[in-house]
Structure 1
Amino acid sequence: MPQASVTDFTHRLVPSPAGRIHLVEQGSGPLVLLVHGFPESWYAWRHQLPVLAAAGYRAAALDVRGYGRSSRPEAVDAYRMLELVEDNVAVVEALGERSAVIVGHDWGATIAATSALVRPDVFRAVGLLSVPYTPPGGPRPSEVFAGMGGPEEFYVSYFQRPGRAEAEIEPDVRGWLAGFYAALSAGTMPAPGAPDPHFVAPGGTLRDRFPSGRRPAWLTEHDLDVYAGEFERTGLTGALNRYRNMDRDWSDLAPYAGAPLPQPSLFLGGTLDASTMWLSDAIAAFPTTLPRLTSSHLLEGAGHFLQQERPEETGRLLTGWLTAVDQPRG
């Protein structure tokens, strides 16, 4: 797929409850808001922005608060899910729109789903990549994660204490990111039966299990430079604070326990992605939790970073779904 020149993209800073949100947009037409995951930025959608624009949409990829050029509040609890929902609403309003389709990947999928759940008046369709929808409720997240892995520590638990993961990552941001991307991508992830990079051995670090000296096919030197440059400038604390609010989210979203998403929806997952495998029960529950699911695809042989590993397929499936979604044109 030809890669759009950065000069084709329009960068904006818009006001939000965070202070400001940076976004990159292309095209005109109905608004599609694109929300990235960890540890990425708006740049994760670089392949899809021109495709959506060519299909007649106004595509806007944002930096979630704590990332890139968006504001980075100091308080840990400033990164709770409801705050991120309000950022998304503010972006739609700042762009002069009353509603949008929202599409997210990884953490962005959960942010997108919660935005659609809490503000259905603004978000009239929702696309989820890599992480399926699971309604709020159930056991407290910290208790679930603490019970995973036996003597090893699940990465979400490892991320909880401020400063701990930062001390691992920030001395070598570029190397850590390259290893993290490789660990979750098809072609470079550890072979079945190898130590799982989602878990930390006692006294170890997460990067101990990253593939050594291997870069995913989708990740060019330039791409890695872009990501590393952003995180070397901002640090990782804002991004990691998202993980440090999961119990707060559990309390905040208690009124929505068990609630389905009634909007038209899409799900894309990779068959080699741990998120897809771990949450297979959530995918099986889609007839109940996503009653208006109109497009669902598991991409054979794909890992976690779908829109970068499989840019053409992701773009085609997104635009096909959007065309089928009933939204005004003009």
Structure 2
Amino acid sequence: MAPRAVIFGLSGVLLRPGLQHFLSACERDCHLPRGFLAAALDSGGSESLESRALRGQISLSQLQEELERRCRAAPGAAVPEGFSASRPFREFRSRARLEAPLLRAAAALRSHGFLTAVLANSWLDDTPGRSRWAELLQELRRSVHLVLESCRLGVAKPDPRVFSCALDALGVRPEEVLFLGCRERDLAPARALGMAALPVRDTGSALRDLQRITGVQPPGPELPVAVEPQEVAHGYVEIRPGVRFHFAELGRGPALVLCHGFPESWLAWRFQLPALAGAGFRAMALDMKGFGESSAPPDVSEYSQERICQVGNPGNVGADPDGMISSLSWINWAVASLNTPFRPAQPIKIPAVASLNTPFRPAQPGSDPLEQLRRIPNFDYQLYFQQPGVAEAELEKDIERTLKILIRSHEPEDRLPVDLDLRHVQERGGLLVGLPEDPPGSRLLPPPALDYYVRQFRASGFRGPLNWYRNVRENWSWALRARHRTIRLPALLVTAGKDPVLQPRLSHGMEAWVPQLQRRHLENCGHWTQLERPAELNRILLEWLRELPPEPLPPNSPNSKL
């Protein structure tokens, strides 16, 4: 029988990480025995501190006072100076976050006629930070029919009576209910009553199980505001006679240069431009050389790192960059490591550099760089790109098909019946061989964006973009000049756990060459980071930019105190 109602647990399901995570962290930091705080909370069975607080018989402040006393009185316990029993509760309240994908799934179930509720083991919060809990409950109530708090009901999980309260409130029978919980001791009484019980280990698998059981497709992630081509200013800068860059810009303030990868466009930054501009930056997204409206000279040598970094007068843009952010491209590392003068008489100062997915490795003497590529199976496509004219013929045959195959998310619902295999490309005779002739649309390229990309590649062709891959030995020889240098700029690397090409392990040891490197990781993200996880990436970039020394925040930044 398909369920009529879905009940979600809160801590560890919709709200993560759960309290246990912060209890363990406090124990570790204070050098307390493992499980020390949990034991102090649970001691006494049904009359334990935790049980009484969850039933609303004592408040959170009373729980914390008694827990502090118990910890300090525990025999053999060496509670350190400065220990506070309130710390894990404060951190839980301030740092735990609602799982937005599951919350959206709950709202979708509600809109499809399912009854929905949250069954929360909670306490009466009378501490100074109690407004945070009230805000959280308000957000939950916008997505589900009912939020049932144990401290209001007078009974808490795993007591079977709390499930009976939920059944009565929803007006359903146990066999009509699906319950999602993260602990077996909560799942067991639900099953005993006749409910279907779904253990939640991670959000992704929970979403897939929910869809399988209910038949309701979970909604995609809420996307931040994106710009359309007509909503930004477009500029051109001549870097030397006959060669120019096109860029799209938004905002005023310190300048940020955004560099895309292959096969992309400045429009790959459509979700980041408004966020960066809104934070008080002048965000400039380039069409890289050979792409879009930038010049696309046919000579392979025009796309070597050395040649690309020879910029005659970027001052025509109106400002030296205050930072470079690059997606799937090594150009920012090249600029940073070689400290190449963009203008012979007046080098540009780049105070910080960030990279999405792409790590930095200095050139190694005595090894053929093409042979190094051959040792990495997933880089076989780059060897296929080496012969001019071959890959161009395949990719330009049907540009829409090419883009719909190459630019896809790693999510199961966006995958093709046959996966794109970057290995054995030369042996197969092409990158797209064996892939569908008429692939479905990609969630990363909705029709307006896909149409724009197609027009751009029809105009520029693929020769220029592919020429970037055809200077392997030249780039290696040039980079050897800087092999003993370190990049001493503030730097950020964002890695993606599901990227099949630029795997996070390739960045191991980068700190030896980039001592100020900061790392951020998006585990549930594939190759196209700024399109797959735009909201998370925007948050990461803005947090990093806010922390950069020594320049102050732009006056109109929402986090500025000026």
Name the TM-score, length of structure 1 as normaliser: 0.89
Measured after TM superposition, the shift of residue 190 of structure 1 is 6.9
1:252 has 2:478 as partner:
yes
Query: Would you say the 8 A contact 1:42–1:63 is kept in 2?
Result: yes
Query: Would you say the 8 A contact 2:379–2:501 is kept in 1?
Result: no
Alignment correspondent of 1:61: 285
What is the alpha-carbon distance in structure 2 between the residues aligned to residue 11 and residue 194 of structure 1?
Answer: 37
What is the alpha-carbon distance in structure 1 between the residues aligned to residue 313 and residue 354 of structure 2?
Answer: 19
After TM superposition, what 4+ stretches of structure 1 lie above 4 angstroms from structure 2? 209-212
The amino acid that maps onto 2:442 is P
Query: Would you say the 8 A contact 1:137–1:258 is kept in 2?
Result: no
Alignment correspondent of 1:219: 445
Name the TM-score, length of structure 2 as normaliser: 0.53
Deviations 1:98-141 (A, max 9, x none): 3420010112xx10111112227522100000111112335322
The amino acid that maps onto 2:469 is Y
Query: SS at the partner of 2:234?
Result: strand
From the CA coordinates, give the structure whose radius of gyration is larger.
Answer: 2
The amino acid that maps onto 1:328 is E
Deviations 1:282-310 (A, max 9, x none): 4221221221013x122121100000111
What is the alpha-carbon distance in structure 1 between the residues aligned to residue 379 and residue 250 of structure 2?
Answer: 41
Q: Which has the higher mean CA deviation after the structures are superposed, 138-147 or 318-327?
A: 138-147
**Counterpart pick for 1:264 among 470, 490, 498:** 490
Query: SS at the partner of 1:242?
Result: helix
What is the alpha-carbon distance in structure 2 between the residues aligned to residue 195 and residue 103 of structure 1?
Answer: 27
Structure 1 residue runs of 5 or longer lacking an equivalent are none
Q: How many residues align?
A: 319
Query: Would you say the 8 A contact 1:186–1:216 is kept in 2?
Result: no
Q: How does 1:96-111 map to 2 (within 5 A)?
A: 96-107=318-329, 110-111=330-331
Q: Which has the higher mean CA deviation after the structures are superposed, 246-255 or 283-292?
A: 283-292
Measured after TM superposition, the shift of residue 194 of structure 1 is 6.3
Measured after TM superposition, the shift of residue 189 of structure 1 is 4.9
Q: How does 1:219-238 map to 2 (within 5 A)?
A: 219-238=445-464
Alignment correspondent of 2:236: 13
Measured after TM superposition, the shift of residue 276 of structure 1 is 3.6
CA gap 1:190/1:8 in 2 versus in 1, 3 angstroms: closer
Measured after TM superposition, the shift of residue 209 of structure 1 is 5.0
Q: How does 1:181-330 map to 2 (within 5 A)?
A: 181-182=407-408, 185-187=410-412, 188-189=414-415, 196-200=421-425, 202-208=427-433, 210=435, 213-277=439-503, 280=505, 282-294=506-518, 296-329=519-552
What is the alpha-carbon distance in structure 1 between the residues aligned to residue 410 and residue 423 of structure 2?
Answer: 13
Alignment correspondent of 2:333: 113
Query: SS at the partner of 1:32?
Result: strand
Deviations 1:238-281 (A, max 9, x none): 0000000111100112111153311001111210002342x61x
**Counterpart pick for 1:86 among 310, 325, 343:** 310
CA gap 1:53/1:116 in 2 versus in 1, 3 angstroms: same
Measured after TM superposition, the shift of residue 201 of structure 1 is 5.4
Query: Would you say the 8 A contact 1:196–1:209 is kept in 2?
Result: no
Query: SS at the partner of 2:543?
Result: helix
What is the alpha-carbon distance in structure 2 between the residues aligned to residue 237 and residue 273 of structure 1?
Answer: 25
What is the alpha-carbon distance in structure 2 between the residues aligned to residue 221 and residue 327 of structure 1?
Answer: 42
What is the alpha-carbon distance in structure 1 between the residues aligned to residue 440 and residue 485 of structure 2?
Answer: 42
Query: SS at the partner of 2:403?
Result: helix
Name which structure has the greater RCO, CA cutoff 8 Å, separation 6+. Answer: 1
Structure 2 residue runs of 5 or longer lacking an equivalent are 1-223, 341-347, 555-562
